[in-house]
Amino acid sequence: MGGTFNPVHLGHLRAAEEVAESLKLRQVIFMPAANPPHKSSVGLVSFAHRWRMLELAVNGNPFFVLSDLEHQRPGKSYSVETLTQLARQYGGDEELHFVLGLDAFLELPTWKDYRELFNLCHFVVVARPGFAPESIDTMLKTQVGDSYFFDSQIQGYVHQNQYVVYYREITLLAISSSNIRNLLASSRSVRYLMPEKVEHYIRQQGLYR
């Protein structure tokens, strides 16, 4: 699961939990972007802070792990490079699933070499308030390839290369990092939107004020 995690919140964690359960994934790797290509650096806290907050968030869950692959690489954090690296690392032993929200999925055509991503891994698209799942079908057919067919048994679009784009209607949580940053900037409560330990860390470090 990639993202900026600026900061991590319960929307991310619950999505990962439900996807892992639904697809029986062995583990979820959270992959914070070191230099997100599409996000302005205004309001973006350091990688070290975002990493620490993720550590606090996944602590105690042995199925959730972190990767700093994108921090080790110089320059912008392009997913196509990360997935290529992961595919090489895990080889044929594991099946990689790229977990992302429907909002992010619909943005894919703006990502570097996005078509290549569909040859590197499965996708698990999760519901996000305000985004219609029908748009997945249109996006795949107009921007990726017309060789997808929907398999209702697995609730996913199968490509001839065998990779699947799953859609999962998870518990809708209208939580976003941008909203949390806005609340913090206006000294409002962010309680119950994120793990308590993350909230404490933000206060202690004086982030997002």
Nearer to ligand ATP, 12 or 49 (CB): 12
Q: Which residue is nearest to ligand ATP (CB)?
A: 101
The order of strands in the sheet holding 28-32 is: 2-3, 28-32, 64-66
Nearer to ligand ATP, 55 or 103 (CB): 103
Nearer to ligand ATP, 84 or 176 (CB): 176
CB 16 to ligand ATP: min, Å: 9
Q: Kindly tell me the number of DSSP H helices and DSSP E strands found in the chain.
A: 9, 8
Residue 178, classified by CB atoms within 10 Å of its CB into exposed (0-12), middle (13-18) or buried (19+), is exposed
Nearer to ligand ATP, 110 or 153 (CB): 110
Ramachandran sector of residue 143 (left: φ over 0; alpha: ψ -120 to 50; beta: rest): alpha
CB 103 to ligand ATP: min, Å: 5
CB 180 to ligand ATP: min, Å: 8
Residues that bind ligand ATP (CB under 6 A): 3-6, 11-12, 15, 100-101, 103-104, 126, 128, 173, 175-178
13 DSSP β-pair partners: none
CB 152 to ligand ATP: min, Å: 23
Q: Which residue has the tokens 């001839």?
A: 160
